[in-house]
Amino acid sequence: MLQKHSSEEGRSVMITAMPELTPILKADCKLYFDGQHNRWVLKAPQQLVFPDQLSLITLQACDGHCSSAQIARSLASFSALKNVTEFDVLDVLADFERRGFISVLNV
């Protein structure tokens, strides 16, 4: 699902345990479109990811306003994402949290 060049393992994952928490991209992470290579890039210290469609849409939804559960419900009903369940979205969020790209807010 994700192409990764580096990762940090062993982080606690709050998103799956508490889906009412609100995910947000960490301040030292940047999600941007690389027009030269025609692809999206998620960049963090010592990490670089080229997200697939589900990962990209999930990351874009991490705006600090919607809970993980709200994001999962919304994307699972999104017609462009065929056969995607709420659990798939929560797995993507948990993976990005574990790898240090997103943090969670208790709003």
Indicate which CATH number applies to the domain containing 33: 3.90.930
Q: Answer yes or no: is 4 within a domain.
A: no
In order along its 107 residues, the chain shows pLDDT tens digits of 433 233 344 445 666 667 688 999 999 999 999 999 999 999 999 999 999 999 999 999 999 999 999 999 999 998 888 889 999 999 999 999 999 999 988 76
Range of the domain at 73: 18-100
Is 105 within a domain? no
- pLDDT of 73 reads 92
Q: Is 101 exposed, middle or buried (0-12, 13-18, 19+ CB in 10 A)?
A: buried
DSSP annotation of 5 reads S
Q: What is the pLDDT of residue 1?
A: 41
Please check whether residue 5 lies inside any domain of the structure. Answer: no
For residue 78, the model assigns a pLDDT of 85
**36 domain residue, yes or no:** yes
Whether residue 9 is contained in a domain is answered as: no
Is 6 within the bounds of a domain? no
Number of domains in the chain: 1
Task: Please say whether the beta carbons of 80 and 26 come within 8 A.
Answer: no
